[in-house]
Structure formats: structure tokens, C-alpha cells
Amino acid sequence: MGDTGSMFLGGSVVAMCFGISYPTIIFVIGFVYFLEALSVMIQVSYFKLTHGKRLFKMTPIHHHFELSGYSEVKIVGLFSLVTAFGAAVAVWLAATV
């Protein structure tokens, strides 16, 4: 997926969160988005602090898993499962508010 597709999906998730008047739920639904971005920030900070050492083999985190030997199918399955769990928790939270 290119930038256009991923930007559309991210924008759609944000629009839905604002549409239900509960924008803070984005942190639960978009956990994978934050994990991916956070892994890059951690890698850059660690690289600068240790003068060239790396915490992950490559970032974003899904590339680290690829270089660790996981197949793309396993990575997509795991990230989809985490996203589905986050969506289920978000639905539960939205229903209780």
C-alpha cells in the first residue's frame, strides 16, 4: 500500500472517531499505528544516544520482524489480530460511554 492508501485509511479512522464524538478512542483503535511510529522514534533516539548502536534490526517494527525471520503472512496476521482486539475494546468502550 502506498502513501495515498495508508493516508486514506488513517484519515477514515480519525473521521470515524470524531464522527462518534469520541476522538480519544483513536489511541485504542490505532494501537498498531502508534506502535509503528513509536518504534521509529525509539530507534532514532537510541541510535543518537549510543552513537550508532541499534535497538531494532530495522524500523518500522514490522521490518524488524521480517529481518528476524517471520514471514509476511505471520506479521500481517499478528498485526491484524492486534488491530481486531483494539477495535473490539474500542467498541466496548464506546458502548459504555
Q: Is the dihedral of CA 61, 64, 68, 72 positive or negative?
A: positive
Which candidate, 14, 34, 32, 37, places its Cα nearest to that of 24? 14
**Residue 58: left (phi > 0), alpha (psi -120 to 50), or beta?**
beta
Q: For the whole model, what pTM was predicted?
A: 0.77
Q: What is the pLDDT of residues 5-53, one digit of tens each?
A: 888 988 888 898 888 888 888 888 888 888 999 999 999 999 999 999 9
**Residue 31: left (phi > 0), alpha (psi -120 to 50), or beta?**
alpha
